[in-house]
A and B are shown apart, each in its own frame.
Chain A
Amino acid sequence: MAAPLTLLLIVAVTIRAVLFRSSLAELISARVEVVSPLNAWKRVVEGLALLDLGVSPYSGDVFHETPLMIYLFHFTVDYAEIVFIVSAYFFRKQKYALESDRYSADCLELLRSPKEMFYIPLKVAMFYLLNPFTILSCVAKSTCGLNNAIIALFIFCTLKGSALLSGILLALATYQSIYPLTLFAPALLFFLQRLYIPVNLRRSSFWFFTLQYAFMYVGSLVVITGLSFFLLGSWDFIPSVYGFIFSVPDLTPNIGLFWYFFAEMFEHFRLFFSCVFQFNVFFYTIPLSIKLKEHPVFLIFMQIAIISIFKSYPTVGDVALYMAFLPAWSHLYRFLRNIFLVSCVLLACSALFPVLWHLWIYAGSANSNFYYAITLLFNFGQVKVFTTTWLTNCEWKNRWRNKVSLFINLY
């Protein structure tokens, strides 16, 4: 296992190193599909420059990263490329460890053979490291890679059973961009399942553990926020980072759904629509948690997918995050019906993004409608992946239940 993994790592690092040094790096870091106003490297450099001058980095509405991030880069700015490659390595490591926690039953037809399961960590690592989306994101030095690494570490700690670390990392992820807040529910469900505490609102053990975990989470969040305040000496970062994420003032086109709508609507309705759009991201947590009580890891996957599709400034790095998880559910492949068509749609859209951007901005023969059409199609493809995986999971569960009950009845 170690040999193919090391080979994979070497190949991934080589590709990234080659691209870093080539002239394509500047081209890629300017692409709107790869960087967003939240995580562009140019803006981090701008923030660092302002910090060096003694001015608050949040003045001027260019910089929207959190203070901890800016201090991290303050010390490592010369080695920025190495930081990004290292974060990709961490991510891979977490993916690998994730798989050791899957359990299997003895219904051969529905589940994977042990041999298949052996290969899953390698496939997950391959899906993430060699995914063109991640490579582009890394070469563009978008901080999305670091966010992904933190989320991966959080999942790792959750699966290992360490509630404290999981709470701290979740707080860090939430601190970076608010949306991982919705991952609180699946993490909680996982710990409850692990500690054999039934999810019953009347039981005191349930409330006891929930309060414990919530306390760890909220506490770390408060500590991190307070730390940021003390580092920079002011509360500017809250409106600049979180206010920016929620109110979506920057309407640069990206692969998300927000920019076109918000460019079209009147100022009067802006608040209403931003509330509706943001609510859309958080809305699915409760129903999904109720439905997927017994499968918290799948719930984490679903939540990450929802966040990547519906967040205010998505980039291809976010898409790569949940796509890397897909091999973990390879037992569902047999039932995935439209996955071929959907993946072709996603591939074609990824190829068409730069073409239509060129036609719109440089040739002047297209306009924003063309680019948004491809954005819509891309997001539709993603939603299709999401719903297909969800439906096949339900079908698989039903079949397994039938098989197990048959099995039990036989004995």
Chain B
Amino acid sequence: MGLLSDPSRRKVLTGLLTRLNTPICIVCYLAGIVWFMGLAFEPFTLRTYMSENAMGSTMVEERFSSGERALSLAKEFDAHKRKAGGMPVEWLVKAMQSRGLEVFTQSFSRKLPFPDENKERYMVRGTNVYGILRAPRAPRTEALVITAPCSPGNTNNQAVALLLALAQYFRNQIYWAKDIIFLVNEHDLIGTQAWLEGYHHTNITGMEYSPLQGRAGSIQAALSLELSSDVITSLDLVLEGLNGQLPNLDLANLFYAFCQKLGVLCTIQGKLQRNDWDTAEGYTHAAQTMMLMVLKQACGRSWGDHGLFLRYHIEAASVRGINSFRHYKTDATTIGRLLEGMVRKLNNLLERLHQSYFFYLLPSLSRFVSIGYYMPAFGLLAVILLLRVSFPGLCHCFSVSLQPSSPGVLTVLTPVVISHLTGVALYLLPVHLQEMAVEHFPVSETEAVVLTAIAIYTAGLALPHNTQRLLSGEGTEQGWKVLKLTALLYLAVLLGCTALINFSLGFILAVTLVPITASITPHMPKALYALVMVLLSPAFTILYCVFIYQELIEAPVSVSEGWMLFLSVISQGILDHALYGSLVYPLLALFIYPCWLMFWNILFWN
């Protein structure tokens, strides 16, 4: 520690930090943004490659041919679905049994904290049907899952039918080393969650379900299939799971390899890969794909049925068939062959997928950015906070505040405690007060919850004026510096921990919060700065992300539509937290928002 304990060198270092603090901070911020945007530039990325040995070396000849039969089965399934008015449980059970699977059902029910706009009711009840194909000559210790959701209306009929056709084809093969579970779940994520909880004997979300009668060993990998038309033009891969967790990159590599082999167009984020990386359009395209992935990962919800498997260490991905306006169409047989190939390769696994990356960003399906390359972008933003903390003025006042005579602790503690109490209110009250709100105002429950959340958020803005009155003490120069020090450290630790678990969320929050928090003092022009602070607060960050997301998926919205989407995003976030344990809403309400409120307090210190 020579640098820090040698007094003369220490003085030089502190002098440098004092003089150049603001320029270094600005340079770091710009460098962080540029680094992040540069990640999509192709020469800075690596080509994807298959890391798992067991999956790379075998040559598989796919022979699935019952695509047409699958399509007629789809019509049959549709008819039975309409007749049953939901999931045709008996028909599915009979269909699976006739294909030689061991069939079991599971019923589940869940009381939603408030009626979702899609469901419009409090209680969701459903049944999952699953059939197990036992491996003929292997010990029944491992399993693979192929799942297709049973959705209302016209969607996903072909997926369920293809599932059944695959089951019939697989039953006649002798090379299976793992059991294969064919799962048809109702109510999308809720059904999948019930099935997974039943399978693993856990109860993390308060779901009620009947116990599973049949089981197949520990699940090594899962594939979710979404197919709504007879022919498709491309297959989309969905990787983002709950809390921004991603499956092992090998699963994406596997999908890409098979798409190349069978000549199927494959996309990610709905965007096709381009070859012209050296042109502006090529770069923008890759950057847009990467930004879409970042936005989807940051919102913390599971973008396909596969997302809930990831929590149980099961590598899972969703394959979605898209039918758009292209010449070349792929039929169901080819999709069946693709799935057959993928499942056969997964069958060869000796241990769970762990060789390839767990943290990555994909600017396209064949190029990836690993954590070692994208973390420095976040690191540069976090360094700004640390530079601000080590600003000698602040450092000195830390040692001064340790003396008992300074006003330090109590004046700092009050804003901290009040901010966190507001955060707790923001977390607890919207859901608990919805009945009261519905009684007094002509709104539905969902709107009541969301509007209560926004009301509490806005009410927090009025706090500094009230707490100053309450304290009846002068806002000392010392006081706000100590508060800023505490708040900067708190923000740095918070953003660091968030970035470790969900990089995209941490990065987006850092981009908007770091500039205002690093430069805030009570001596700035209050009105202007207050406006800037509100415009860069977490709620507005969500609003901007909604607009940017809509732009990127080429479905831009007007301001009022964007506002409605924003409200639905908030309600979805609260619902995800209650139903599946997503951590974005508690993180924002209990930690990020109080931290932002502390900085708001600093702005209005005197």
Residues of A within 8 A of B (CB): 115-116, 119, 123, 330, 333-334, 336-341, 344, 347-348, 351-352, 355-356, 358-359, 362-365
A347 touches B358 (CB 8 A): no
Residues of B within 8 A of A123 (CB): 404
A-B CB contact pairs (8 Å), 20 listed: A115-B405, A123-B404, A330-B402, A330-B404, A334-B399, A337-B5, A338-B4, A344-B489, A348-B493, A351-B493, A355-B497, A356-B500, A358-B501, A359-B500, A359-B501, A363-B501, A364-B313, A364-B354, A364-B358, A365-B359
Whether B501 contacts A347 by the Cβ 8 Å rule is no
* A116 CA to B405 CA, complexed, in Å: 8
Q: Which of A115, A340, A347 contacts B395 (CB 8 A)?
A: A340
* Chain A min CB distance to B428 (Å): 12
Bound-state CA distance A338–B1 (Å) is 10
Which residue of chain A has its CB nearest to the CB of B313?
Answer: A364
| B395 and A355 form a contact (CB under 8 A) | no
Which residue of B has the minimal Cβ distance to A339?
B399
Q: Are A116 and B404 in contact (CB under 8 A)?
A: yes
- Tell me whether B493 and A333 are in contact (CB under 8 A): no
Give the residue name and chain of the A residue nearest to B5 (CB): A337
Q: Chain A contacts of B489 at CB under 8 A?
A: 344, 347
Question: Do the beta carbons of A333 and B399 come within 8 Å of each other?
Answer: yes
A17 to B461, CA, bound (A): 31
For residue B1, which residues in chain A have a CB less than 8 angstroms away from its CB? 338
Determine whether the beta carbon of A119 is less than 8 Å from that of B354.
no
**CB–CB B496/A348 < 8 A:** yes
- Whole-angstrom distance from the CB of A37 to the nearest CB of chain B? 24
Which residues of chain B are within 8 angstroms of A339 by Cβ–Cβ distance? Answer: 399
Q: Are B493 and A347 in contact (CB under 8 A)?
A: yes
Known: A115-B405, A340-B398, A348-B493. 5 other contacts (CB 8 A): A338-B4, A338-B5, A344-B489, A351-B496, A355-B500
* Whole-angstrom CA separation of A338 from B395 in the bound complex: 11
* Distance, CA A338 to CA B404, complexed state (A): 20
**B289 on the interface (CB 8 Å rule)?**
no
**List of B residues within 8 angstroms of A340 by Cβ:** 395, 398-399
Residue numbers in B under 8 Å from A351 (CB-CB): 493-494, 496-497
Complex Cα gap A363–B248 (Å): 11
B404 and A119 contact, CB distance less than 8 A: yes
The 8 A CB mask of B1-44 against A (1 = contact, 0 = none) is 10011000000000000000000000000000000000000000
Q: Shortest CB–CB separation between residue A301 and chain B, in angstroms?
A: 18
Q: How far is the CB of B311 from chain A (nearest CB, A)?
A: 7
Q: Which residue of A lies closest to B10 (CB)?
A: A337
**What chain A residues lie within 8 Å of B5 (beta carbons)?**
337-338
**B245 is an interface residue with CB less than 8 A from chain A:** yes
- In the complex, B57 has a CB within 8 A of chain A: no
Quick one: which of B376-395 are within 8 Å of A by CB?
Answer: 389, 395
The minimal Cβ–Cβ distance linking A343 to chain B, given in whole angstroms, is: 9
Chain B, range 48-96, C-beta contacts under 8 Å to A: none
> How many Å lie between the Cα of A330 and that of B399 in the bound state?
11
In angstroms, Cα B403 to Cα A155, docked, is 26
**Cα–Cα, bound, A20→B438 (Å):** 34
A362–B399 alpha-carbon span in the complex (Å): 40
Known: A347-B489, A348-B493. A333 touches B402 (CB 8 A): yes
Which B residues touch A336, using CB under 8 A? 399
Q: Which residues of B contact A359 (CB under 8 A)?
A: 500-501
Question: CA of A237 to CA of B306 in the docked complex: distance in angstroms?
Answer: 51
Q: A119-B404, A365-B359 are in contact. Are A352 and B496 (CB under 8 A)?
A: yes
Q: How far is the CB of A267 from chain B (nearest CB, A)?
A: 25
Best-surrounded residue of B354, B395, B497 (most CB of chain A within 10 A):
B497
Counting from the closest, the 8 A-B pairs by CB-CB distance are A365-B358, A119-B404, A355-B497, A351-B493, A364-B313, A340-B398, A333-B402, A348-B493
Which residues of the other chain, B, contact A356 by a CB distance below 8 angstroms? 500
B403 to chain A, nearest CB (A): 7
CB-based contact B245/A363 at 8 Å: yes
Closest residue of chain A to B353 (Cβ to Cβ) is A364
Q: How far is the CA of A351 from the CA of B493 in the complex (A)?
A: 7
| Complex: A411 Cα to B168 Cα, angstroms | 106
Neighbouring B residues of A116 by C-beta, 8 Å: 403-405
CB distance from A124 to the nearest CB of B (A): 12
Q: Give 1 or 0 for each of B387-419: 1 = CB within 8 Å of chain A CB.
A: 001000001001100111100000000000000
- Could you tell me the distance between the alpha carbons of A363 and B311 in the complex, rounded to whole angstroms? 6
**Residue from the set A115, A123, A344, A359 with the largest chain B CB neighbour count within 10 Å:** A344
Q: Is the CB of A362 within 8 A of B402?
A: no
Q: Which A residues are CB-close (under 8 A) to B354?
A: 364
B505 to chain A, nearest CB (A): 13
Q: In the complex, A352→B489 CA distance in Å?
A: 14
Whole-angstrom distance from the CB of A210 to the nearest CB of chain B? Answer: 39
In the assembled complex, the Cα of A351 lies from the Cα of B500 at a distance in Å of: 12
Residues of chain A with a CB closer than 8 A to B404's CB = 116, 119, 123, 330
Counting chain A CB atoms within 10 Å of each CB, the highest count among B313, B359, B489, B493 belongs to: B493
| Cα distance A340–B4 in the bound complex, in angstroms | 12
Residue of A nearest to B501 (CB): A355
Q: Which of chain B's residues has its CB closest to A119's CB? A: B404
In chain A, what residue has the closest Cβ to B386? A344
Residue numbers in B under 8 Å from A341 (CB-CB): 4
Residue of B nearest to A120 (CB): B404
Alpha-carbon distance A276/B506, docked complex (angstroms) = 43
Q: How far is the CA of A202 from the CA of B210 in the complex (A)?
A: 81
A363 touches B497 (CB 8 A): no
Expressed in whole angstroms, the Cα–Cα distance for A336 and B492 within the complex equals 24
Within 8 A of A (CB), among B448-507: 489, 492-494, 496-497, 500-501
Check A363 against B358 for contact (C-beta < 8 Å). Answer: yes
CB contacts (< 8 Å) of A365 on chain B: these are 358-359
B131 to chain A, nearest CB (A): 28
- Bound state CA distance, A352 and B501, in angstroms? 11
Q: Which residue of B lies closest to A336 (CB)?
A: B399
| Interfacial residues of chain B within 337-378, with CB under 8 A of chain A in the complex | 354, 358-359
Q: Are B403 and A333 in contact (CB under 8 A)?
A: yes
For A362, list chain B residues within 8 Å (CB).
311
Cβ distance B91 to chain A, nearest Cβ, rounded Å: 38
1/0 contact string of B228-264 vs chain A (CB within 8 Å): 0000000000000000010000000000000000000
CA gap between A358 and B492 in the complex, in Å: 19
Give the nearest-CB partner of B7 in chain A: A337
Q: Which residues of A lie under 8 Å from residue B395 when comparing CB positions?
A: 340
CB A208 to nearest CB in B, in angstroms, measures 43
**Nearest opposing residue in chain A for B243, CB measure:** A363
The distance from the CB of A261 to the nearest CB of chain B, in whole angstroms, is 25
Q: Which residues of A contact B4 (CB under 8 A)?
A: 337-338, 341
Closest to A351 in B: B493
**Residues of chain B contacted by A344 (CB below 8 angstroms):** 389, 489
Q: Which residue of B lies closest to A384 (CB)?
A: B1
A362 to B354 CA separation, bound complex (whole angstroms): 14
